[in-house]
Structure 1
Amino acid sequence: MDSLRQILLMALDIAYFIVIAHVIMSFLINFQVLNLRQPIVAQIWFGLNRLLEPIYAPIRRFLPPMGGIDFTPIVLFFAIQALRIVVSNNVY
C-alpha cells in the first residue's frame, strides 16, 4: 500500500508543477516576455491549456467573475494540497 501512496503523491506533485508552469507562462505571455508566435512557446502553451482546461472549467463555473483576475489556479492549488493531505494521512 505504501507504493500506491507514493504513486498518488507523485501524480499530485506533477499536477502541482504543471499548474505552476501554466501560471508562470501566462504571466510571461501577458507581460510580453514570451511571444506566442514562436512555435515552441505556442506548442507548450496550447498543450498546457489542453491539459488544464478540463480541470479549470468546473472550477470556473462556481467562482464568480473577479474583474479579469482568474483565481482558478489558486483553488486548484488548495485542492491538490488537500488531496495530498488526505492521501498522506489515510492510505495505509
Structure 2
Amino acid sequence: MLLSLFQIVDVLLQVLWWIIIIQAVLSWLVVFNVINTHNDFVRTFFNALDRLTRPLYAPIRKILPDFGGLDFSPVVVLLLIYVLRILLAGVARDLVLSGTM
C-alpha cells in the first residue's frame, strides 16, 4: 500500500516536471513572439500554466537574486523535484528491502 502511494507521488511529480517544462518553453515562445497571445486558446493555456506554476516559483523568486530578466526559478524547481524523486525512490527501495511492505 505504501509503495503504491510512493508511485502515485512519483507520477504526480513527473506530471509537474512536464508542466514546468512546457510552461518554460511556452513562455520563451511568447517572449520571442513566435506564439501570439492574441489567440484565445494560447492565452488561456498560457494563463492556466502560469497559475499552476506561480505558487511554486514565488518562494524561490524571493530567495534568488535578480539576474536581469532571466528567471532561474523553473530550473530550481526542476532540481528540487529531481532530488525529491530520488529521495522517494530511495525510501521506497529501503521499505521493499526491509520487508515492511
TM-score range, shorter chain: over 0.9
**Cα RMSD for the two superposed structures:** 0.7
Q: How much identity, in percent, do the aligned residues show? A: 37
For residues 30-75 of structure 1, the C-alpha deviation after alignment (integer angstroms, 9 at most, x for no partner) is 1111111000000000001111111110010000000111000010
Q: Which segments of structure 1 move beyond 6 Å, counting only runs of 4 or more?
A: none
TM-score, length of structure 1 as denominator length: 0.96
Report 1:1-92 matches (<5 A): 1-91=2-92, 92=95
TM-score, length of structure 2 as denominator length: 0.88
The size of the alignment, in residue pairs, is 92
> Please, which runs of 5 or more residues in structure 2 have no aligned partner?
96-101
Larger Rg: 2
| Greater RCO, CA 8 A, separation 6+ | 1
> Please, which runs of 5 or more residues in structure 1 have no aligned partner?
none
